[in-house]
Amino acid sequence: MALLRLLLSLERESASMWELSFVVPPNHESLDFKFLLKPKYSNSPCIVEEGPNRLFLGGMLQGDTRMALFRLGPDEVLEYRVFIKADRVSPFDLAASWRAYQDNLRPSAARGIPDVSINSLSETGPENSSSASLELDLEHYVVPAPSSNSGHVYAANLTETPRSLTGFGVHSNADKVGNTSSSKESSILGDQPATVKDMTIIVPDPSKMYMGSGMVESKSVGTFSHLPKQDSHRGLFVDRGVGSPRLVKSPSTSAFFADLKLDTESKNSMPAAAGAVAAAAIADQMLGPKEDRHLAIVLVGLPARGKTFTAAKLTRYLRWLGHETKHFNVGKYRRLKHGTNQSADFFRADNPEGMEARNEVAALAMEDMISWMQEGGQVGIFDATNSTRKRRNMLMKLAEGKCRIIFLETLCNDQRIIERNIRLKIQQSPDYADEPDFEAGYRDFKARLDNYEKVYEPVEEGSYIKMIDMVSGHGGQIQVNNISGYLPGRIVFFLVNTHLTPRPILLTRHGESMDNVRGRIGGDTELSEAGKVYSKKLANFVEKRLKSERAASIWTSTLQRTILTASPIGGFPKIQWRALDEIYAGVCDGMTYEEIKKNMPEEYEARKKDKLRYRYPRGESYLDVIQRLEPVIIELERQRAPVVVISHQAVLRALYAYFADRPLKEIPHIEVPLHTIIEIQMGVTGVQEKRYKLMD
């Protein structure tokens, strides 16, 4: 066994204690090591620890954790107590997929910096200037958040406004609030389908196409395409974005063009997303049944099982990917037509009037959803208990030949979670807004729940996804039946990785760089003096905010301005993601916008006209960035501990848009200022936001 001596500079925490933390993969090699005492402010040689070597094997330190003894001279011995903390980390804790795992465990090719590293605890030496110190109270730095998700909002209030019931009066003040929220959302997102440009198919000339064996693998979607060669050996080029006039007109492309004439319904249902998403949508439309062009996710489950929360998260995810998606909540229809003062008797199976009323509003919601799909919508989330086969058969009959139905059943056997959800329901639901007595509302809801439990029939028909005890994030299982296609597969993958464990996610740009000072885009420059000050303030902030969160991690891009911003932060693992790199400006990298306007006026105007879809020559578009960020989103959803993401403006705009449920068209215009921390709090009550501005 090779001897490995850790040449780490151990920073003193107190007069008699050091702490060493390191992260290892499950299959790590055995570590045989000793501690070295390294003088901090001199070039004196290191002093080797007395005694036998320490052995770290299988994620555990072997033997007793003994004191560390250092002999300075014949009669002088230093004795220190040592705490060793070792965290076993699975590959998925280091990256979102095995590809990212392999990439990120190699040293960075650009600067030789390892992708996973542990710093010593924050220094308190002379280099920490007073200009980088923070107030003890972090609330001192809070600034107003621009989005409306900074408070607790009942998720059902944010669902689609019932169109078929617009003639009915609103029955309670609480419901007025819900309708106002939904109307506002509709005005932002727009009820009309997004306009999608005509797509051109490029078919290579078989006689001239290079037929070599070279293949390249797409890092984002795991597909293969012919390796592009030089002009003398042209290959099949796969455009990963939506619309690219420069590539279509390229004289070096040996191809002929054929317009794909889709009917209006097909064009409207095509997602405004890049790469695999658009390709899969076209395949489904050209090869699949007509009803497969529209997908209805029909929730099934008893009350207080997290259906509405799951539906809201899934809606947000699909919208962010570029799919036209809306969330239809049957409870909102019921409250609008029948009021919010319905007692538990209204929900009895042996109450024919109540059953008829509930089936009626369910049918109205389904008809609204199908009408919206026929106008261009792609995915409808139908949120209700749908607890009997009779109800589900009614919905399948209404959807026959119009959309494909997949049932999503949420089952929970943890009484603690059910009890928590019941209490949140009573506190937030408009059904109990006019009930001043919490206990009376609690008893009524329990009686309503009993009525549903008496007649509940688990899903066994059709295509379905069952989530069993998944909400806690600790185990559980997911069952699928008759699920096929790109989009249903992505939905299953997303649901596998979601849970309700509360944890903060901190988003921040790197400190000001030299290119920021010069007004140049892209690049890989170092930090300015202001950026260096911010890096120290950020370290101070993270230490205060996450002082009790030892399982937290720091994520950066592979560009040095984010790595340098994170460098003063100690005590947490740091993971570099290439997916977090800034949007690549291609030939415009390193230029100012004034230079682009002067030297490339056509590109400047094209970007100004459509920043979302515009792709820099030989560079990326915002839609490309969204595509490569999907593994990051999945991993952020999967994490149970806090994460600090230090990245770049375009990337953080896209990440923030996911959590804030902002439309794709707004992403290029979202404000993400320098030296500001956006805290996203994820948990059972949804997503809340808080902002801290550490520097002007």
Active-site amino acid positions: 383, 412, 510, 582
DSSP for 202-257 reads: EEE-TTTS---S-EEE-TTT--EEEPP--GGG--PPPP-SS--HHHHT-TT--EEE
Torsion sign over Cα 361, 367, 370, 374 = negative
31-36 CB contacts, 8 Å cutoff, 24+ apart: 31/4, 31/55, 31/56, 31/57, 32/1, 32/2, 32/3, 32/4, 32/56, 33/3, 33/4, 33/5, 33/6, 34/5, 34/6, 35/6, 35/10, 35/68, 35/82, 36/5, 36/6, 36/7, 36/8
Contacts of 420 (CB under 8 A, 6+ apart): 684
Start-to-end CA span in the chain (Å)? 54
Q: Rounded to 5 degrees, what are φ and ψ at 83?
A: -110, 130
Q: Three-state DSSP class for 20? A: strand
CA–CA distance, 475 with 468 (Å, rounded to integer): 9
In the structure encoding, which two tokens stand for residue 494, read together? 């997303």
**Cβ contact 207:338 at 8 Å:** no
Contacts of 215 (CB under 8 A, 6+ apart): 224, 225, 226, 227
Nearest to 329 by CA among 181, 459, 194: 181
DSSP for 113-179 reads: --SEEEPPSPP-STTS-GGG---S-GGGGEE--SSSTTS---GGGGSPPPSTTTTSPP--HHHHHHH
In the structure encoding, which two tokens stand for residue 7, read together? 């040449």
CA–CA distance, 125 with 637 (Å, rounded to integer): 37
Contacts of 550 (CB under 8 A, 6+ apart): 85, 571
Dmax over CA atoms of the chain, in Å, equals: 95
Question: Residue 87: what residue type?
Answer: D
Where do we find the tokens 């002082």?
A: 547
CA–CA distance, 297 with 362 (Å, rounded to integer): 14
Tell me the three-class secondary structure of 25-69, residue by residue: CCCCCCEEECCEECCCCCCCCCEECCCCCEEEECCEECCCCCCEE
Residue 456, class by beta-carbon neighbours within 10 Å (0-12 exposed, 13-18 middle, 19+ buried)? middle
In the structure encoding, which two tokens stand for residue 572, read together? 């947490």
CA–CA distance, 675 with 657 (Å, rounded to integer): 19
For residues 36-60, one letter each, b for 16 or more C-beta atoms within 10 angstroms of the residue's C-beta and e for the rest, the string is: bbeeeeeeeeeeebeeeebebeeee
Nearest to 504 by CA among 318, 691, 642, 659: 642
In the structure encoding, which two tokens stand for residue 247, read together? 């590539």
CA separation (Å) from 78 to 16, 72, 357, 608?
Answer: 10, 7, 81, 66
